[in-house]
Chain A
Amino acid sequence: MSRPVLDVRNLSTAVTTRKGDLTIVDDLNLKVKRGETVAIIGESGCGKSLAALSLMRLLPKGRARIRGGEIRLEDRDLAKLPDRDVARLRGRDIAMIFQDPMSALNPVMTIGRQIEEAIRAHVDLKGEALRARSIELLKLVHIPDPEARLKEYPHRLSGGMCQRIAIAMAIACEPRLLIADEPTTALDVTIQAQVLQLLQELKARTGMALLIITHDFGVVAEMADRVVVMYAGRKVEEGTVREIFRDPRHPYTQGLLALTLHPGPPKVDRLPEIRGVVPAYEARGVGCPFADRCDKVMEVCRRQAPATIEVAQNSLNGNHEVACWAAELESERYVVTVDH
Chain B
Amino acid sequence: MHFLRNFSRNPMALTGGLLLLLVLLAALVAPVIFPADPLRIVGPALIEPFTDGHYPLGTDGMGRDMLAMIIHGAGTTLAIGVSAALTALVIGVTIGAIAGYYGGWIGNLFGRLIELFQTIPGIVFILALVSLFGAHMVLIVLIIGLVSWESIARLTRAEVMAWKKRDFILACRATGMTDIGIIFGEILPNALAPVIAVSTLSIAGAILAESGLSFLGLGDPNISTWGRLVGDGRNMITSAWYISAIPGVAIVVTVFALSLVSDGLGEILNPRLRR
Interface residues of A (CB under 8 A from B): 56, 58, 61-62, 87-92, 95-100, 103-109, 117-118, 121-122, 166, 169-170, 172-173
Interface SS of B by simple majority = helix
The residues of A that contact B11 with a CB separation of less than 8 Å are none
The reply to whether A117 and B177 contact each other, CB–CB distance below 8 Å, is yes
Most buried by A among B167, B171, B173: B171
The residues of A that contact B190 with a CB separation of less than 8 Å are 106-108
Within the assembled complex, what's the spacing in Å between the Cα atoms of A169 and B186?
Answer: 15
The reply to whether B186 and A90 contact each other, CB–CB distance below 8 Å, is no
Over the window 157-190 of chain B, the binary record of Cβ atoms lying under 8 Å from chain A Cβ atoms (1 yes, 0 no) is 0000000001110111111111001000110011
Given A117-B175, A118-B175, list of 13 further CB < 8 A pairs?
Answer: A62-B103, A87-B173, A90-B175, A91-B177, A96-B171, A98-B171, A98-B174, A99-B167, A104-B171, A106-B186, A117-B185, A121-B176, A122-B176
The reply to whether A106 and B168 contact each other, CB–CB distance below 8 Å, is yes
Report 25 cross-chain contacts, Cβ distance below 8 Å, ordered by A residue. A56-B174, A62-B104, A90-B173, A90-B174, A90-B175, A91-B175, A91-B176, A95-B174, A95-B175, A96-B171, A96-B174, A98-B174, A103-B166, A104-B168, A104-B171, A105-B168, A105-B171, A106-B189, A107-B168, A121-B175, A121-B177, A122-B176, A166-B171, A173-B175, A173-B176
Interface residues of B (CB under 8 A from A): 103-104, 166-168, 170-178, 181, 185-186, 189-190
Ranked nearest first, the 5 interchain pairs of A and B with the lowest CB-CB distance are: A91-B176, A91-B175, A90-B176, A96-B174, A103-B167
For the A-B complex, the count of residue pairs with Cβ-Cβ distances under 8 Å equals 78
Report if A169-B171 is in contact (Cβ < 8 Å); known contacts: A106-B186, A106-B190: yes
Most buried by A among B168, B174, B176, B177: B174
Within the assembled complex, what's the spacing in Å between the Cα atoms of A229 and B103?
Answer: 34
A45: min CB distance to chain B, Å: 19
The residues of A that contact B171 with a CB separation of less than 8 Å are 96-98, 104-105, 166, 169-170
The reply to whether A100 and B167 contact each other, CB–CB distance below 8 Å, is yes
Within the assembled complex, what's the spacing in Å between the Cα atoms of A108 and B188?
Answer: 10
The reply to whether A98 and B177 contact each other, CB–CB distance below 8 Å, is no
Within the assembled complex, what's the spacing in Å between the Cα atoms of A109 and B171?
Answer: 14
The reply to whether B176 and A58 contact each other, CB–CB distance below 8 Å, is no
The residues of B that contact A99 with a CB separation of less than 8 Å are 167
Report if A89-B176 is in contact (Cβ < 8 Å); known contacts: A100-B167, A166-B171: yes
The reply to whether A117 and B104 contact each other, CB–CB distance below 8 Å, is no
Within the assembled complex, what's the spacing in Å between the Cα atoms of A121 and B168?
Answer: 15
The residues of B that contact A98 with a CB separation of less than 8 Å are 167, 170-171, 174
The reply to whether A117 and B172 contact each other, CB–CB distance below 8 Å, is yes
Within the assembled complex, what's the spacing in Å between the Cα atoms of A52 and B27?
Answer: 60
The residues of A that contact B170 with a CB separation of less than 8 Å are 58, 98, 104
A90: min CB distance to chain B, Å: 4
Within the assembled complex, what's the spacing in Å between the Cα atoms of A108 and B190?
Answer: 6
Task: Please give me the residue from chain A that is nearest to B191 by CB atom.
Answer: A108
Within the assembled complex, what's the spacing in Å between the Cα atoms of A231 and B130?
Answer: 66
Report if A58-B103 is in contact (Cβ < 8 Å); known contacts: A100-B167, A106-B190, A121-B181: no
A282: min CB distance to chain B, Å: 24
The reply to whether B176 and A87 contact each other, CB–CB distance below 8 Å, is yes
Within the assembled complex, what's the spacing in Å between the Cα atoms of A103 and B185?
Answer: 17
Within the assembled complex, what's the spacing in Å between the Cα atoms of A62 and B107?
Answer: 12
A43: min CB distance to chain B, Å: 21
Task: Please give me the residue from chain A that is nearest to B179 by CB atom.
Answer: A87
Task: Please give me the residue from chain A that is nearest to B190 by CB atom.
Answer: A108
The reply to whether B176 and A88 contact each other, CB–CB distance below 8 Å, is yes
The residues of B that contact A104 with a CB separation of less than 8 Å are 167-168, 170-171
Task: Please give me the residue from chain A that is nearest to B178 by CB atom.
Answer: A87
